[in-house]
Structures are given as structure tokens and as C-alpha cells.
Structure 1
Amino acid sequence: MYKVDVQADAKEAAAIEARRNREKQRQSRIFNARHLRMGVDVADLKSQVEERKRRQNAEKCRDEAFDAERIQCDKIAQMLEKEEQQRRRQLNQALVEFREQNQQPATRREWDIHDPEAVRKGQPARVSDDDPRCGPSSMQHFAGEDWNGLARQKLLKEQNKRDLEEQKMEREKARADRRYADTLEDKKRIELDLRALELARLEDECRRIKAMARADFNRAQAAEAAEQQRLAQQQEQDDNYAEIHNHLTGDILTENPDVAKSLVGPHRMVPYCWKGMSPEQVEAVWKMQKEQCKENQRLREEQQQLDAEWDRQRHLAARAAMEEEEQQQNFRLQLQKSLGAYNQQLAKAQKAHLQYLEKEVYSNTPTAQYHLQFNTSSR
């Protein structure tokens, strides 16, 4: 608890001290004669402009770096995609060539069954009457008989054995090809990784060189700006000294009345060199002011007369408006009285009409017995 209190007091004291320092800095800026005359904090504005420029430059450099890296990644991806497509194309081409060379229809085990030329290639059932294949009765063999079954089975077994050996060799070759392709792919991937690392290293080196060049450029600009500021301050100081000397040795402080004469004409003068008027000029000014006072007095009297006339006209208009309003009020009262009398007469007439209807017209009011007499029969 005590540690928390001490930390809070320390933080509060630090905050108070920071506010005091900011207030002192603000007072030093406000009560500075140069800044007060200019009306704005030029140094603060310059620092804000420089900070914004630095931030914009940093964002621009970051965007350029991101763009370059994105372009590099796109190039690498395109290269990898092209190599993958080329590898697939080579594999498909090798597969097609292998099928054309080693998987012909004639090398299949069932080719003797599905051979369309089997009938043409085979021997006829009977060559002549002395065909030794015919039996003692000189008859042809019936369909379904297989005299060369054992030889054919032996040949089929040998052919199956050869086919199995060929398939085994093909599988071994395919396995070796796959191992070779995987080895090539691994080597290619390693080569691409090394190339990507080399590109990344070159990019880092380029970025580092750019950063060094930018830092050197910034330092050169800062030195140039400092030199220009120093030269500007020196020039301003020299100008101030020259201006002070000109004022001390000029005609303004020496009270020379001839400096106020203008070269345009004798009746003109230079305003910033004028030292005052002569007694004749002062007398003429006083005379003109008296005439102006008399003229102003005359104008005020005319204005008062005009205001009085306007007030009289306003009173007359107000009186006429009051009289008109009284006439309208009387007319409204008379209209209300006439409407009241007409309404009373109309009410009496309506009341008399109602009495006539109730006593004369509607004298025989139907009862419930009258309504019950209907719908009592089928007719």
C-alpha cells in the first residue's frame, strides 16, 4: 500500500513538473518579441512540416520496399510455376513415349483372343483330303476340339512368364525413374531455395546500400540547410546593422524638412518623411474644421426636422389604424348579434317542426305486437 502511494505521488509530481516545463516553454514562445510580432510559432510549424515530410518519405520507402518484395515474390512464383509446368509436360511426354514403345496392343496377353487378324493368320480346318490332321474316318474336327491344347498352354505359360518379367522390369524401371525424378526435383528445389536466399541477400544488401545513401543524403541536406540558415542569419544581421546606420545618418532622424518635398510637384510631399505642418496650414485646417462643424450642424437640424415629420406621419397612420380597427370591431359585434338572432329564430322553427312531427305525423307509433304479426304463416 505504501509503495503504491509513493509511486502515485512520484507520478503526480512528475506530471506536475512536466506541465510546469510545458508552461514555461509556452511562455518563452509567447513572450518572445520576434514570435509575438510574427503571430505564429514558426519553429513549431517547421518541425511539424519536417515531421510530416519524414513520415511521408518513410511511408513511401516502405511502400516501395513492399512493392519490390512483392514483385520479386511474383517473379519467383512465376518461375516455379513455369518449371512445374515444364516438368509435368516432360513427364507426360515420357509417359506417352513409353506407352508407344513398350505398351503396344500386340504385346498384351489377351492379344491372341482379341486379334482381329486371328482368323486370317490361323490355319484352315482342312487343307486337303490327305490332311494328316483328319482322323481315320476322314472327317474334319468338330468345333470345340483342341488338339494343340497342351502346346498352347505351354506357350501361354511361357508368354505369361515373359510378360511378368517384362512387367517386373517395367516396375523397376518406373521406380528408378520416380527416384530419379524425385532426386531431380529435390535438387531443383534446393537450387531454387539457394537462388531465393541469394536474391534475398542481394535485396538486403541493396536495401542497406539505399539506407546508407539516404542517410548520407539526409546528412548532406542537413548540413546544407544549417549552412543556409547560418548565411541567412548573417545576412539578416548585416542588413539590420545597415538599416540602423542608415536611420542614424539619414534625413529622418536629422529633422531635415527638405526631405518631405516630392519630386512630382511642389504641392506634394513624401508621407514617411513629413515632419509636420506650417502655421498657415494649421490655420487652414482649423478653418476647414469649423466649416465642417457648421455643415454637420445644418445636416443634423435637417435630419431632426425629417425625423419629426416622419414621427407625425407615423402617429397619423397609427390613429387611422385604430379608428379602422374600432369600425371593424363594431361591425363584428353587429354581425354576431344578427347571427345570434337568426340562430334563435332557426332553433324555434326546428323545435316547432319537431313538435309537429311527434304530435301530428308520427302519432301512431308501431308496437311490438305490430311487428309480431309478420311471418306467422307460409303465405
Structure 2
Amino acid sequence: MPGRRRGDPDRQDLAEAAALQRRRHRDLQRQSRVFDARVRTVGIDKEALDTQIKDRKIQEATQRACDESIAAEMKHNDKVLCMLDDRQKRDARILSKAVNEFRKNYQQPETRREFDLSDPQALKKDTPARLADNDPRCTISGLQKFMGEDLNSGNRWKFQKEQTREWLLQQHKESQNALADRKYADDLYDRQRLELDQKAMNLQRIDEQTRRAVCVATMEFNKALAAESEEKKCLEKQQQEEDDTAEIFNLFQGDLLSENPQQAVSSFGVGRVIPNRWKGMSPDQLKEIRDIQMQQVLEKMATNTSWWEQRLKEEERQRDAEWDRKRIQEARAELLYERHHQRQNRELRRTLDNDNAQLSQEQKARQAYFNEEVYANFPSGQYYTQFNTTSR
């Protein structure tokens, strides 16, 4: 109101009430956003995002308009620059054409003062260095006339060419004559060589015929010698076979292979023999020896039967005693091993029982500690009702 002062209590109350109402309204809006599952999951402010998108579009439109204006201005400037460049090039061409026309019409090379120094036709217009062979200007020191450079050199060269041609024709004719002479000499040499070759062939043929005759005679002689040698070998072989047959027959019929016992009888006595001739005893002698040996064996067995039986019984008794001793030792060892195994099992069981008892005590103590110290403060229902009551 216009009549109230700035520090009026009613106005302050209204302002505070309005501020409180605004805070409550914002708090309700915040609670609606916080407790809304979709908004809380997405985690964004859609209105703020829409505002940002709208501002961004406005900014982009402004920037686009600015860019388009700048681009249009740049195009205009480029067009103006192109027109100015074309005008400048056209003016330069016109100026260059005018300069060339002026030079062509008013600045000819012939009108220059120093044209004679650079005239391309100066040598053609100048006087020749030598007008004749006896030109007085052609001094020795002038180096204008050398040997073979006279003005009549064309006719002289023509005469020299004709002379050279005559010389070449003469040389060609001489070469042809020499070639004909050489050919005649070669033909004569070939005829002589053919005659010599024919004579050599005749001599060679006669020599071959002579050698062939000698070879035939030698072959006939060798055949005769071979036949004689073959006949001699056959006779020698036949004689050798007859001698071998006689020797084999004599050996078969002799005392050595027939094993005649009379040949081994020694002259030193009846019971003695010659070692290198003795072939062993006869079957009758061997039979007699075996009969005597068998009789001796039977006699010995008859005398030693009782002793042999006693020996066998003693060996069997010793063997049974040894087996009994081994069985007793094995049974004793097995009993000792079983007792040792039982003792180890008892020790192991006692150790396991002690360990289990100790673990049980430790577990009970830990559980008691948890129940008395850790899990002593259980939450009540009031503890769970204090959540999700405000947006803060």
C-alpha cells in the first residue's frame, strides 16, 4: 500500500508467507520429480532441456542467417573482383596492342642509327673478302687464301675426280686380271691334287688287299693251331679222367676207406694199434664194453639202495623244516605290521578329535561374541519409517 513504510510488519509477514509458500511449492515439485520412478531413472529435467533446445535452435538460426549474409557479401565481392580483373586484363591487352602498332608504324629497325651494327643482311651486302686469286687484299698475314682454296677449285676438283675414277678403273682391271690368274692357278692345283688323291687311293686299295690276304692266311693258321690245341686238350682231359677214375677206385678198394682193422694192428703187441690208421672199435667190441658197464651199474645199485633212500628222506625233512620256519616268520611279520598300523590309526584319531574339539570351542566363542557384541542392537520398526519422508 502507498501509505505504509518499508518496514511494515504486515508486509513482512506477507512476504515471508509468500516465500514459505514458494518453498513449499518447489519442495512439492521436487518430491514429485524425486519420487517419480521414470524421472528418477532418466535423471533429466525435461523443461530445462526443452528450453535449452529452443535456445540452441534460435542461436543456430541466428548464426545461419549471419553466415548466409556473409556468404552473399563474399559472393558479391568475388564478382566485383572478377570484373575488375577482367577490366584490368583488357586494358593491358589494349595498351600492349597500341604499343606494338606504334612500334610497327613509327619505330622500324631500319630507321635506327645503329642498325648497321645489327643488320642481319650485313654480310650479304658487304664486299667479299677476296674478288680473285690475285686480289691485292689477300696478303700473307690476312689468312684469306690457302692451298686448295683458289677460285678455280671447282674445275680442279672435277678434274681430280675424273683422274681418280680412271685410276680406280685401272685398279679394278688389274684386280680382275689377278683374280683370273689366281683362279687358273687354283684350278691347276686342284687337278694336281685330284691326281695325287687318285694315286693315293689306288695305293691304299692295293695295301688293303694285301692286308686282307695276310689276315686270311693268319686266320687259317690260327684255326689250325686252335684245332690242334683243342685236340690236345681233349686228349689230356681224357687221360686225366682215366687217372682220376683209377685213383678213386684204388681209394675205395684200399684199407683206408674200407676201414680194415688189420691195418691198424701194431707190431709192438696184440693190444696196441697205430693211431693214424685206427678207425675205432668194431661193433662187437663196443657191445662187449656196454654189457660190462651195465653189469657194474646193477651191482652198485644193489649195494647203495638203502643209503639212497635215507638220503632222500633227510633232504625232504630239511625242506619241510625250512618251509615251516618261513611261514612262522611271515606270520610274525604280518602281526607286527598290523599292530603298528592300529597304533598309528589310534594316534591319528586322537589328534583329529583334539583338533575338532579346539575348532568347536573357537566357533562357539566366535558365535557368542557375535551374539553379545555385534548383533546386540537390532533395528525396530520406527527405524524403517524414517526413510522416504522428504525430498532432501
Same fold (TM over 0.5): no
- TM-score w.r.t. length of structure 1: 0.33
Which structure is larger by alpha-carbon Rg, 1 or 2?
A: 2
- TM-score w.r.t. length of structure 2: 0.32
Which structure exhibits the higher relative contact order, with contacts defined as CA atoms closer than 8 Å and separated by 6 or more residues?
2
